[in-house]
Structure formats: C-alpha cells, structure tokens
C-alpha cells in the first residue's frame, strides 16, 4: 500500500465518522440515484418553464452532459476499462472493519465518482445559464463531495477525478451549444 493510499484511507475514515443517524439518513437520501434523477429533472423543467427562450439550448446542453457522462464515465471507464484493469474497490468494501457504508451500497468500481461527475456537469450547465446560482452550486458540489466520502463510497481521488470529468462534460456541452446556436 502506497503512502497516498494510506492518506486517502485516513481521510475517508475521518469523514465516515462524522455525524449522526440524522446526518446519515439525509446524506443517504441526497445520494440516492432516484433523488438525483428527480433533482436534475426538476431543475431542467424549472429552467425551461421559467425561461422558454432557453429551452432548446438548455435541453441540448443537458442531453450532451448525459451522453458524455454515460458514454465516458459509465460505459468506458467503469465498465469497459475494468475488463482490462482491476476495479477500484469501494472503501466500505475494502475496509469493512473500519469504514461503514451509508445509503445504497454500490459495488461497482469506485473510480471515478459518477455522482460527482454528474453533479458538477449539470451545475456547470445551470450556472452557465443562471450565473446567480454559482454559490449555491458550489455548496451542492461540496455537499456531494462530503457525502461520497462520509458514506464510504469513494476515496478523495475518486471524487477529484469525478469533479474534473464533470467540469469537462459541462464545458464541452456549453461549447457545443455555443457553436450550434450561433446567432
């Protein structure tokens, strides 16, 4: 085990011990895939119905983010590449005596954090259309990052790579929207 691995495990253990049953329940709910799907769908509907002029641009950006995320993070990184490289075991599975799981027990590769990639990508799109939501978006990203570590689902590097992928997906989506919808 490398020094970096030991450091990451210490961080996950620290975050995993913070909180109470109420915090665990809240963070488990925030990380539920059904909650995230509803949350992103609700934000998309609110954005489109509140500002019909952006419907096509916003919809295209969201669609691009979804295609990039599911095509790259899920299909290529988490499923295709794990045929050739070992899956990174989630912290709660790798260290069951020291790290407890909170919420749904995912068992696919912990690398990278899909929750972080989708959260950041969607928030990049939202902030591109609604800059006033920047601070709220940063808080949502911080909450998601904290919860993925607290819940024992990811190591810090999984979260960091998820954030970087999310920024990339959001940026690419907005660049494509700018090219397609040139006035």
Three-state secondary structure string covering 151-167: CCCCCHHHHHHHHHHHH
pLDDT in tens, 130-140: 898 899 899 99
If phi > 0 it is left, if psi is from -120 to 50 it is alpha, else beta; for residue 92 that is alpha
Using a pLDDT cut of 70, give the percent of the chain over it.
99
**Alpha-carbon gap, residue 60 to 166, rounded angstroms:** 16
**Alpha-carbon gap, residue 180 to 42, rounded angstroms:** 25
pLDDT in tens, 102-157: 988 888 889 999 999 999 999 999 999 989 889 989 999 999 999 999 999 999 99
Instruction: Give the mean pLDDT of 37-59.
Output: 84
pLDDT at 183: 63
Q: Per the structure, how many domains does the chain have?
A: 1
Does position 4 have pLDDT exceeding 80, yes or no?
Answer: no
The CATH code of the domain that includes 165 is 1.20.144.10
Domain that holds residue 38: 3-180
Does position 82 have pLDDT exceeding 80, yes or no?
Answer: yes
């Amino acid at each position: 085990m490398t020094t970096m691995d030991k450091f990451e495990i210490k961080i996950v253990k620290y975050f995993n011990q913070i909180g109470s049953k109420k915090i665990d329940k809240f963070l488990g709910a925030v990380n539920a895939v059904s909650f995230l799907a509803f949350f992103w769908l609700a934000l998309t509907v609110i954005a489109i119905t509140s500002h019909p002029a952006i419907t096509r641009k916003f919809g295209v950006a969201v669609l691009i983010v979804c295609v990039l995320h599911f095509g790259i993070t899920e299909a290529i990184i988490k499923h295709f590449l794990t045929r050739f490289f070992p899956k990174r075991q989630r912290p709660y599975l790798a260290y069951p005596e020291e790290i407890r799981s909170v919420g749904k027990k995912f068992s696919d590769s912990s690398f990278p954090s899909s929750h972080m990639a989708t959260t950041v990508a969607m928030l990049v799109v939202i902030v591109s259309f609604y800059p006033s939501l920047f601070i709220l978006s940063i808080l949502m990203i911080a909450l998601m990052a904290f919860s993925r570590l607290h819940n024992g689902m990811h190591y810090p590097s999984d979260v960091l790579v998820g954030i970087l992928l999310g920024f990339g997906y959001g940026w690419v989506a907005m660049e494509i929207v700018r090219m397609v919808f040139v006035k």
